[in-house]
Amino acid sequence: MKTCYTEETMCGRFGISFAREQIEERFGAKFEADFFTPRYNAAPSQALPLILNSEPQASKFVAWGLRPAWMTKISKREGIINVRAETLRDRPTFQRDLAERRCLVLADSFYEWKKAGKQKIPYRIALKSGEPFAFAGIWEENKGEDGNP
């Protein structure tokens, strides 16, 4: 099971709603799976399309969020979904990932929230051109509960 986490410039929700063919053409990477379901509200723990540095011609579906080995001892922790770019190089947890396992997280928009009294209002942010883009990410391969990668 491969998992990914992204730099802090990325928020907790984003969208990837283009047609599969448009995404493949934009990034020059073919989807491994025969299916692609657009997501307007991609969330942590979901399998989302990435391009891994180990296979730049393929787009794979990878779970968003990472639970490093040291975190398995901490109960009730979902895992890491974002990492601050400012401290990424300084944190031992991410040094090997940064050096060896980089990826592109495919998107066409992301969401930021603004407080309005007691409510939070989501704002969808996209490129003016409307084309898909990518966030920088780092990935890691973990073993699932069944012991398989």
For the stretch 89-98, pLDDT in tens is 888 778 888 8
- Total number of domains in the chain: 1
Question: CA-to-CA distance for 92 and 102, rounded, in angstroms?
Answer: 16
The mean pLDDT of the chain is 81
Q: Which region among 55-59, 81-85, 127-131 has the lowest average model confidence (pLDDT)?
A: 81-85
**What does the DSSP assignment read for the chain?**
-EEEEEETTS-S-EEE-S-HHHHHHHHT-EESSS----EEEE-TTSEEEEEETT-TTEEEEEEE-B--GGGGGSTT---B-EE-TTTGGG-HHHHHHHHH-EEEEEESEEEEEEEETTEEEEEEE--TT---EEEEEEEEE---TTS--
Question: CA-to-CA distance for 97 and 11, rounded, in angstroms?
Answer: 20
Each residue of 22-37: pLDDT tens digit? 999 999 999 987 778 8
- Catalytic residue IDs: 11, 112
Mean pLDDT over 73-92 rounds to: 71
pLDDT band at 77 (very low <50, low <70, confident <90, very high): low
What domain range includes position 43? 2-141
Is 85 part of a structural domain of the chain?
A: yes
pLDDT band at 6 (very low <50, low <70, confident <90, very high): very low
Closest by CA to 46, choosing from 61, 68, 67, is 61
Mean pLDDT over 105-120 rounds to: 91
Looking at residue 133, its pLDDT comes to 95
Is 51 part of a structural domain of the chain?
A: yes
Asked whether 139 and 54 are in contact (CB, 8 A), the reply is no
Portion of the chain with pLDDT greater than 90, in percent: 32
Is 134 part of a structural domain of the chain?
A: yes
Is 101 part of a structural domain of the chain?
A: yes
Portion of the chain with pLDDT greater than 70, in percent: 83
pLDDT of 43 strictly over 80: yes
Q: Where residue 11 sits, what CATH number does that domain have?
A: 3.90.1680.10
pLDDT band at 9 (very low <50, low <70, confident <90, very high): very low
Is 149 part of a structural domain of the chain?
A: no
